[in-house]
Amino acid sequence: MHSLQFTAETTVDGVLERDFTVAGVPGVLWSPASATGRAPLVLMGHGGGTHKRWPAMTGRARLLVHGCGFHVAVVDAPGHGDRPRTPHDEAEIAELYRARAAGEPEGPIVVRYNAHLAERAVPEWHATLDALQALPEIGADGPVGFYGLNMGTAIGVPFVAAEPRITAAVFGLHWPDALAEAARRITVPVEFSLQWDDEHIPRAAGLALFDAFASREKTLHANTGKHKELPRFEADSAVRFFARHLGGTVTPAA
Amino acid sequence: MHSLQFTAETTVDGVLERDFTVAGVPGVLWSPASATGRAPLVLMGHGGGTHKRWPAMTGRARLLVHGCGFHVAVVDAPGHGDRPRTPHDEAEIAELYRARAAGEPEGPIVVRYNAHLAERAVPEWHATLDALQALPEIGADGPVGFYGLNMGTAIGVPFVAAEPRITAAVFGLHWPDALAEAARRITVPVEFSLQWDDEHIPRAAGLALFDAFASREKTLHANTGKHKELPRFEADSAVRFFARHLGGTVTPAA
């Protein structure tokens, strides 16, 4: 097993924030600064073109730590954040920008490039979870959730389908093409967001991915607005979802 | 204007519960027992075959009073609860039971009978709101929400479409046939629930009714399960929705 090395540590406003690496993959672990004993863990996947400290990541991490007392970990996806891009990464990103500038659909490029990144990222997530569970404050038998939208769903769906330690997941904002087959193997509770007026993902495609999950308990949250206009209150909903399924109660923001 | 007569009053667990009538229509008003000053009002419509004190009504009322400090009012729909049935009511209910026993679709009967009830109920709701707003603890210029599923949506959609005093609404679990036209005139924020495996309402029909609302802000909550299996946590979600839109913060249950 690859072990986890902490490389930096700060505490801000009651949240202990530790940079770490596992087998060269850099991540951040947010934890309650005053915690005693073990607490559930939520793994979060960031979106395409962003990284482990993107505001959506730090904001959701703080909601989960403050609201539920959970640990929250994010790692940089391959080719993202502090990690180098391969020539293949560069070519796909250039192709995405070219299509965007030309007004062509982005979907086919995002779907195939994210599927490629998922193949690289899924083994890293298994190893990261192994290493995180070796920490005494997390432990090997506690509940673990996964929370990832956009590219975080493209990586998270195959990861959760293959990872029995994940017991609840929040997904959304992706196409079914490369994910429906893995989604049909997921049976844990799922909360899934899509945007009703998404200019990239056709409505029927988003509904088809939600439909594919085999989970007995799954909830679709569809909101008006375009691809990047997911309402902020969906992050609060995700916190309550994880509180229900990983154990714990939500403490409202002060 | 018809005035409101209180006919009974009890206080249980911090909730003042007052029976009232407006022009012969009986209702219940739940309020914070310790309130001072004015507070927002939520009108709730009950489902078909039930009444103003059905457990779903009393439960949701307590969540809204305890969670937000709001007033909550429910009236018996025509032919329901303490109100007499007309021969037409009796005939339609008999026809519904006959179809159910024969394994025929209930939708066409429910749609047409609920549309008939809405014609009778909408003027009563306008009058009830007039009378409730004459109470000093509610007032004529405070925020007002509407919360009704099933038959509560069949009556609520035409009511809210015609009632500019309603500024936010929770609907769900109905067909679009008789409601889509009125829904297209509703522009206030809407939270809408449907059941993904509803044995009575086809999935596309539920999605079509959600789609019909003209609201800039609307959210669909679709959950796995059959028609009567709406998860309990959707009531908590409705409380937060009204707290966001009518003003107020949610106090978690003790």
Q: One-letter amino acid identity for B106?
A: E
Confidence at residue A210, expressed as pLDDT on a 0 to 100 scale: 98
Residues in chain A: 254
Which residues in chain B touch residue A249, judged by CB atoms under 8 angstroms apart? 252
Which residues in chain B touch residue A196, judged by CB atoms under 8 angstroms apart? 211, 218, 220
How many angstroms separate the CA of residue A65 from the nearest CA in chain B? 18
Work out the average pLDDT over A219-232. 97
Say if the Cβ atoms of A220 and B196 lie within 8 Å: yes
Say if the Cβ atoms of A244 and B233 lie within 8 Å: yes
At A21, the pLDDT band (50, 70, 90 cuts) reads very high
> Looking at the partner chain, which of B218, B222, B233 has a beta carbon nearest the beta carbon of A224?
B218
How many angstroms separate the CA of residue A234 from the nearest CA in chain B? 10
pLDDT digits (tens, 9 = 90+) for A58-72: 999 999 999 999 999
Nearest of A113, A59, A92 to residue A233 by alpha carbon: A59
Cα–Cα dist A186/A126, whole Å = 16
Residues of chain B with pLDDT under 70: 252-254
Say if the Cβ atoms of B220 and A217 lie within 8 Å: no
Which residue ranges make up each domain of chain A? 4-246
Which residues in chain B touch residue A224, judged by CB atoms under 8 angstroms apart? 215-219
Confidence at residue B253, expressed as pLDDT on a 0 to 100 scale: 56
Assign a CATH topology to domain B4-246: Rossmann fold (3.40.50)
> Looking at the partner chain, which of B220, B222, B244 has a beta carbon nearest the beta carbon of A233?
B244
Say if the Cβ atoms of A220 and B222 lie within 8 Å: yes
How many angstroms separate the CA of residue A176 from the nearest CA in chain B? 18
Please name the residue ranges forming H helices in B139-232: 151-161, 180-183, 203-212
Confidence at residue A3, expressed as pLDDT on a 0 to 100 scale: 92
How many angstroms separate the CA of residue A222 from the nearest CA in chain B? 5
Interface test with B, best of A68, A220, A251 (most B CBs within 10 A): A220
A186-222 burial, b at 16+ Cβ within 10 Å, e below that, comes to bebbbbbbbbbebebbeeebbbbbbbbbebebbbbbb
Work out the average pLDDT over A25-36. 93
Beta pairing partners, B191: B170, B219
